[in-house]
Structure 1
């Protein structure tokens, strides 16, 4: 019968896929768009709100700067999209910003980009899920009061869905993503139609509120700093743009062209929705504030702590369609859903980048392994764990988490575009075809503008957000950088040690075999027989005497069977088992440094987890210690108990590999009988049972 854990795994994740089925997981553009672009598309739910909240610090009059800041963000988006279209054509292998920076700027620049992206992917999950819970919590108070637990549950759900495979998760996410895009675009069209054609006046639920400015004496540099801070907050709309360049291998052929087309589609849709929401929010007099309980005022008094600030999208939907209407409920529902699913961009980017870093030796090798469903399961689980810890630490508060956001994105943007400029310079140095050179010059100009622009924005983001929480990211990135460097040094050191040399093929002078004995029973006899079959130079049985009477009884039983192997007893006045064995093995090694020592360990194999609680793990502990001794080989001789066979539905073992039956040998062989008392305390000291 299959194990319960296997059944649960199959139910949650589905049947395992063969490696040859990997091509079936490749994505068409219509599925790739919701998978890789759900983050930038969903940012319309919070990026305009973050922009207006920063402007509200100086009062509602500063809302007039909103359209100009939105235009600046749109231009930045256009530059970034155009730049990344060059990336996907030049580097279609899926390394994205990491590969571009590594190849053109060196390994340190590549690791800087990688550390920035890994941190930002974790923040993407934390911010998206927390924002979705906040949107639902504004309508359902119970969810708002339990937002941390709900957010963690959503992360677990997203993790399970992504563990089922890229294509299956993409199909699951496609419908909600398209539903959100259609809903928001329809809302923008209806809103603009009512304003421009019908001449209606749109009124948001917060239009009657006033904004109490936190700073009323702004002038000169202070005004500029506030506008730059609003701009940096609105740049959250650009998060996730790089995910497509990291996921080129997941596209169907032609991969680069399909990825570039998807990137363009994402940019057009995201810009349209962002501008439309900003325009309708300003026309309907939406009021949002960073600290609504103090900054928002009704009838001359602050609204107080009991006030729940509605997200900007639901306020605009209320102004366009009417509060409580069916279209309003539709917008509210799909907005919350898309914010949860926006984390899927990170679930596709983080594991792929982790796999590439693991391949290059900067992260543990396990991240390069695909799971049953051909997804990078270990990377998915690590991402979910890190995001869950962030959600718990910051109590799922979007305002606190958003301050950590986008720093990593613009680090990767900037270094990637600088790397692309060097890429085109290198290509131009060898290219002679005039048409190709014109194309390369145009691409270099696009990347140069992109690198300059994103570099400037990075400086702005660092200056305006550093004291508000971005310093945490600025600390986390160097720590992750140093961790990856140390992992690479470890792998390099191990590889250097494992390089074969002439001495490695020299046979050892002799092989001293030692069989560890706890009592005279079937596993011991099996281990003795196997040790003899290896034909060592010398063979002895060793037991540790922790109880004189039990040790004497064991020796009597040993001599009564006339076994052809000498039994040596190691005294242990302090009832230790591991130390005397280690000291004895070391003494054998000291006498003959060119020889090897092989230690044979008889071990039980039980069939139920609870049976492990009934047997100690001294053999496992002893084996672990022996592995650190040079020149010592450790051989486990398992004895499967009946429970392990019954659990797996196996018939009675037969043939030369059978271990359930006692071994018989001739003329001086080992009798097939059970010597000793099974289950009695191990008087000999070495208890050789483990799972």
Structure 2
């Protein structure tokens, strides 16, 4: 019968999958779109707000720039989507921007991209979940003041769902994502229909006037005006986050992987730009007023509305006006928007573990991140992402306005490096390509990537200029810390590998010329006899039993009984004037090593196997201390010889049920055909 822990794990995560079932977890396009597009689509819920918030500093006249800013964002997105469609064909292994940069620009460029994306994935979870928590707190007053705890609970919930496997989590999140897409597109169609028929109502805030902040002077032709427009553009560029996730998740698609990934990218781009431009256009048609400081900037009859005024998000205002005759549709739109903000984090839960597994495979992250869990998902990466995001949410108290300033820097760093790498990729292949048609396609692709590089580099510069002092420096610092740590991890793995490598010409010399066996004896009882028998069965070059003379009377009695039983192994007594046990044994073993430097010394330690935690405190303490000392002595091995006490009966079955690797084979205990797990699986 499974233990309570196993039963709880099976309830939350599900039955384990066999390795050959991996192909069955791959995603069709209809599931892959909501899985990988939820982050990019969710930006429709806050990118328009960020654009209008920034422009509101200059007053109502600045709203005229919102369509042009949106067109600029749309242009950048379409170019990025087009270039990434080439990426997934050229590099379908799942490394995405990391692989492109590593292959074409070198390992340091690849690590720069890897660190940027890892940080950005964590921020994606923190920002989207915190935004969802704020929406929930606005609808449920009981959550106010507890947004951070609620957001952390949502992260844990998403983690649990993703631990069940990519296909199951995708199926669970597909319906809400499609509802959001349908609700926003449906609202846009209905709104434009009402506009063309002259029946489009005004937004709830349309009767208010908007005053600019006092410190904005000089108009839009001044440096301050240009900087404001660039800042609004950088805020709207948040709509591009999540586009790169598909290039990192190509291995998760059904075959043909590259073709399906490229098609999904195209669908993502078309849907996202349609939704974004529709929302911005309708916001202007309904005369939405959205201010950074609504209490003082929004005026009714020339007087500020004050702190009692509640400023609803732009989508909420649009839904209220467009569906003024159909309240159910209003609630569907607002509820779907709140849900998609939470589900946006799911893109990171699919991208981060895959990227972390590739970095771990290359030795830049701990090897545990490269192994798959019970459900063939990269469980350790999912848990690491959730834990880091929870720490970030609690540290910033789930305040979106503070977290959003750290956002999108990483993704545009990866965009720039990826476009640069793809230009190098096409240039390199053009040197060897002779077919005229193929060369024309390569040149056309290089032009697309060159345009993408110019646009994304410009956006990156704008983002750094407008957001650096507002918090973007924290994200840059985090990227630098991750970069340095990955270099150190790589250096450690290389050092260990070099240390453990045996040159071929010295392989014979690596073998010991003999084995010196030492059996530790405290009393003459069954565990001691088992240890002696085990040591003799190993046929060492020399075998001796060793005891430490702590109590002279007990030592004399032991020697007398040893001789009476006529045991064929000599008993060596070590003096211990200060009643120590560990030090005399260690010194004796070291003396053997000095006497026989080319021999191996094996110390056999009899140990009790107990069944209760409190029994551990009563037994084996000397053995634990001794083994801890001997493990650092070169040329010495310690062999534990267990003796099972009666209280340990039944423990074997429970331990085997919880053994790593067994549950992944779909069993709760070993079968006669089971083989030991590879130690490399549990490094």
TM-score (normalised: structure 2): 0.90
| Aligned-CA RMSD value | 2.4
Aligned to 2:34: 34
Contact 2:549–2:574 (Cα < 8 Å) also in 1: yes
SS of 2:290's equivalent? coil
Distance in 2 (CA, whole Å) between partners of 1:460 and 1:283 is: 29
Deviations 1:6-65 (A, max 9, x none): 111111111111111111011110010011111001111111111211122233332222
Contact 1:515–1:541 (Cα < 8 Å) also in 2: yes
Aligned to 2:379: 377
Aligned to 1:505: 508
Distance in 1 (CA, whole Å) between partners of 2:40 and 2:239 is: 6
Give the alignment partner of residue 389 of structure 2, picking from 380, 387, 390. 387
Distance in 2 (CA, whole Å) between partners of 1:252 and 1:444 is: 28
SS of 1:634's equivalent? strand
SS of 1:512's equivalent? strand
Give the superposition deviation at 1:519.
3.9
5+ long unaligned stretches in structure 1: 651-691
> Residues 521 and 212 (structure 1 numbering): CA distance in 2 closer, same or farther, change over 3 Å?
farther
Give the superposition deviation at 1:82.
0.6
Aligned to 1:627: 631
> Residues 536 and 298 (structure 1 numbering): CA distance in 2 closer, same or farther, change over 3 Å?
farther
> Residues 189 and 592 (structure 1 numbering): CA distance in 2 closer, same or farther, change over 3 Å?
same
Aligned to 1:679: none
Is 1:533 equivalent to 2:537 in the alignment?
Answer: yes
Aligned to 1:641: 645
Q: Which moved more, 1:613-622 or 1:313-322?
A: 613-622
Contact 1:359–1:365 (Cα < 8 Å) also in 2: yes
Deviations 1:629-656 (A, max 9, x none): 2111122222333444324559xxxxxx
Give the alignment partner of residue 517 of structure 1, picking from 514, 521, 524. 521
Distance in 1 (CA, whole Å) between partners of 2:260 and 2:176 is: 22
> Residues 95 and 618 (structure 1 numbering): CA distance in 2 closer, same or farther, change over 3 Å?
farther
Give the alignment partner of residue 359 of structure 1, picking from 351, 358, 361. 361
Distance in 2 (CA, whole Å) between partners of 1:43 and 1:610 is: 55
Give the superposition deviation at 1:564.
3.5
Give the superposition deviation at 1:246.
0.8
Distance in 2 (CA, whole Å) between partners of 1:262 and 1:190 is: 26
Q: Which moved more, 1:208-217 or 1:118-127?
A: 208-217
Aligned to 1:325: 327
SS of 1:198's equivalent? coil
Aligned to 1:447: 449
Contact 2:191–2:200 (Cα < 8 Å) also in 1: no
Aligned to 1:662: none
Mapping for residues 609-620 of structure 1, pairs under 5 Å: 612=616, 615=619, 617-620=621-624
Is 1:436 equivalent to 2:416 in the alignment?
Answer: no
Give the superposition deviation at 1:623.
2.7
> Residues 378 and 610 (structure 1 numbering): CA distance in 2 closer, same or farther, change over 3 Å?
farther
Aligned to 2:159: 159
Aligned to 1:658: none
Give the superposition deviation at 1:337.
1.3
Contact 2:56–2:62 (Cα < 8 Å) also in 1: yes
Deviations 1:157-183 (A, max 9, x none): 111111111111111111111011001
> Residues 550 and 277 (structure 1 numbering): CA distance in 2 closer, same or farther, change over 3 Å?
farther
Distance in 2 (CA, whole Å) between partners of 1:555 and 1:324 is: 97
Q: Which moved more, 1:21-30 or 1:203-212?
A: 203-212
SS of 2:586's equivalent? helix
Is 1:259 equivalent to 2:258 in the alignment?
Answer: no
Is 1:134 equivalent to 2:138 in the alignment?
Answer: no
Contact 2:120–2:411 (Cα < 8 Å) also in 1: yes
Distance in 2 (CA, whole Å) between partners of 1:291 and 1:544 is: 80
SS of 2:543's equivalent? strand
Give the superposition deviation at 1:398.
0.7
Aligned to 1:271: 273
Mapping for residues 186-225 of structure 1, pairs under 5 Å: 186-205=186-205, 208=208, 210-211=210-211, 213=213, 215-219=215-219, 220-225=222-227
Deviations 1:162-219 (A, max 9, x none): 1111111111111111011001111111122222213332223575364552533245
Give the superposition deviation at 1:84.
0.3
Aligned to 2:473: 471
> Residues 617 and 310 (structure 1 numbering): CA distance in 2 closer, same or farther, change over 3 Å?
farther
Aligned to 1:669: none
Aligned to 1:674: none
SS of 2:517's equivalent? strand
Contact 1:511–1:598 (Cα < 8 Å) also in 2: yes
> Residues 589 and 160 (structure 1 numbering): CA distance in 2 closer, same or farther, change over 3 Å?
same
> Residues 564 and 295 (structure 1 numbering): CA distance in 2 closer, same or farther, change over 3 Å?
farther
SS of 2:17's equivalent? coil
5+ long unaligned stretches in structure 2: 655-683
Give the superposition deviation at 1:584.
3.0
Distance in 1 (CA, whole Å) between partners of 2:436 and 2:180 is: 46
Distance in 2 (CA, whole Å) between partners of 1:356 and 1:386 is: 19
Give the superposition deviation at 1:102.
0.8
Contact 2:51–2:236 (Cα < 8 Å) also in 1: yes
SS of 2:144's equivalent? helix
Is 1:491 equivalent to 2:482 in the alignment?
Answer: no
Aligned to 2:24: 24
Is 1:93 equivalent to 2:89 in the alignment?
Answer: no
Give the superposition deviation at 1:401.
0.6
Distance in 1 (CA, whole Å) between partners of 2:572 and 2:587 is: 14
Give the superposition deviation at 1:544.
4.5
Deviations 1:562-597 (A, max 9, x none): 443344454556665544433332232122211211
Distance in 1 (CA, whole Å) between partners of 2:548 and 2:296 is: 75
Q: Which moved more, 1:349-358 or 1:319-328?
A: 319-328
Distance in 1 (CA, whole Å) between partners of 2:519 and 2:584 is: 14
Aligned to 1:684: none
Distance in 2 (CA, whole Å) between partners of 1:614 and 1:301 is: 79
> Residues 433 and 8 (structure 1 numbering): CA distance in 2 closer, same or farther, change over 3 Å?
same
Deviations 1:410-444 (A, max 9, x none): 01001101111111111111111111111111111
Give the alignment partner of residue 588 of structure 1, picking from 592, 597, 617. 592
Q: Which moved more, 1:291-300 or 1:381-390?
A: 291-300
Distance in 1 (CA, whole Å) between partners of 2:293 and 2:518 is: 73
Aligned to 1:687: none
Is 1:44 equivalent to 2:44 in the alignment?
Answer: yes
Q: Which moved more, 1:354-363 or 1:259-268?
A: 354-363
Aligned to 1:603: 607
Deviations 1:256-284 (A, max 9, x none): 11111000000000001111111222333
> Residues 226 and 323 (structure 1 numbering): CA distance in 2 closer, same or farther, change over 3 Å?
farther
> Residues 166 and 564 (structure 1 numbering): CA distance in 2 closer, same or farther, change over 3 Å?
same
Q: Which moved more, 1:413-422 or 1:60-69?
A: 60-69
Aligned to 1:74: 74
SS of 2:507's equivalent? helix
Distance in 2 (CA, whole Å) between partners of 1:611 and 1:146 is: 44
Distance in 2 (CA, whole Å) between partners of 1:174 and 1:234 is: 25
